[in-house]
Chains A and B, each alone.
Chain A
Amino acid sequence: ETGVTQTPRHLVMGMTNKKSLKCEQHLGHNAMYWYKQSAKKPLELMFVYNFKEQTENNSVPSRFSPECPNSSHLFLHLHTLQPEDSALYLCASSQVSQGRGELFFGSGTQLSVL
């Protein structure tokens, strides 16, 4: 248990569905992240939130919409996804001070888009 909880663990959705991924961190960290992990590719940083404010959006398509209501919770809202969006979506948190610091990851949501 890393202190970062992601739900659901698995998700299958059609291209017209709307779903949300949830992440909660119990570590008191001030930064939260969404990463996408596809097979045989490096982790892709999608969004970064520092103190609830979005500080990075790495050219992510608008069909992915993040939400950070407070420093402990992070959501990723999904709509009209494409099959190529199938991947493992990882949430992480860290305490940013003189750098990003050590990232603590959740177990991920394995997403399949049909």
Chain B
Amino acid sequence: SQQGEEDPQALSIQEGENATMNCSYKTSINNLQWYRQNSGRGLVHLILIRSNEREKHSGRLRVTLDTSKKSSSLLITASRAADTASYFCATENDYKLSFGAGTTVTVRA
């Protein structure tokens, strides 16, 4: 299984600060996706980056992908209390999508 592994497992930041989390994976991928999950709810898709892309932006989110290092990062800028959630990366290859265990982000007011 080419499961993504997120790092760190947990992150606590002050409102207004930036939050960065990383995802590493083991084999080649077609794309990598990031999802957010609020406590006890379903996952919400944030962004998809293809293997031939290096960076993507969506609002306050910035995702980078380094296929040579088999890693991706998700940056949330100017964090808000509403960003408190778990964040998961998911790697896709050959129509198989594998999720990591997630990074839990807490934004303190």
Contacts and interface: CB of A to CB of B under 8 A. Distances in A.
Interface stretch (A14-22, A35-43, A61-69, A75-83): A35-43
Contacts of B33: 102-103
A110 B101 CA distance: 18
Nearest to B38: A107
A90 B90 CA distance: 15
Does more than half of chain A's interface fall in helix, strand or loop, or is it mixed?
A: loop
A108 B42 contact: yes
A88 interface: yes
10 contacts: A2-B42, A42-B98, A42-B102, A45-B98, A90-B43, A96-B95, A100-B92, A100-B95, A105-B43, A107-B42
A4 interface: yes
A2 B92 contact: no
Given A41-B101, A96-B95, A100-B95, A108 B40 contact: yes
A89 B97 CA distance: 17
Contacts of A90: 42-43
Interface in A1-60: 2, 4, 6, 40-43, 45
B25 interface: no
A110 B20 CA distance: 30
Contacts of A106: 42
Nearest to B99: A43
Contacts of B31: 99
Interface in B78-108: 88, 90, 92, 95-102
